[in-house]
Amino acid sequence: MSEQPVLPYPDAVTGMSSGWSGSETSADRARMEDSTGVTTKRQGEVLGALAWKEKYGATWVELGSNLGLHHGQISGPLSVLHKAGKIARLTEKRDRCAVYVLPEHVQGRETSAHGRRRQAPDTPLLIKIREVATRYAEGTAYYNGYDDRGMLEILALIEGSTEL
**3 state SS of 110:** coil
Beta-ladder partners of 112: 89
What integer is the mean pLDDT of 28-50? 95
- What pLDDT is stored for residue 51 in this prediction? 97
On the question of pLDDT at 58 being above 50, the answer is yes
What integer is the mean pLDDT of 73-98? 95
On the question of pLDDT at 146 being above 80, the answer is no
Q: How many helices (H) and strands (E) does the chain have?
A: 6, 5
Query: What rounded mean pLDDT belongs to the chain?
Result: 83
- What pLDDT is stored for residue 3 in this prediction? 74
- What pLDDT is stored for residue 19 in this prediction? 86
What integer is the mean pLDDT of 65-73? 94
Percent of the chain with pLDDT over 70: 74
**3 state SS of 143:** strand
- What pLDDT is stored for residue 89 in this prediction? 97
| Cβ burial, residue 121 (10 Å; 0-12/13-18/19+) | exposed
On the question of pLDDT at 17 being above 90, the answer is no
- What pLDDT is stored for residue 164 in this prediction? 42
Sheet order of strands, 88-94 included? 97-101, 88-94, 111-112
| pTM, to two decimals | 0.68
Lowest-confidence region among 52-56, 86-90, 139-143:
139-143
- What pLDDT is stored for residue 47 in this prediction? 97
For 39-63, give one letter per residue: b (16+ CB within 10 A) or e. bbebbbbbbebbeebeeebbbbebb
124 pLDDT band, cuts 50/70/90, is: confident
Cβ-based neighbours of 42, under 8 Å, separated by 6 or more = 33, 67, 69, 73, 74, 76, 77
Residue ranges and CATH numbers for the domains of the chain are: 9-112 (1.10.10.10), 124-159 (no CATH)
- What pLDDT is stored for residue 57 in this prediction? 97
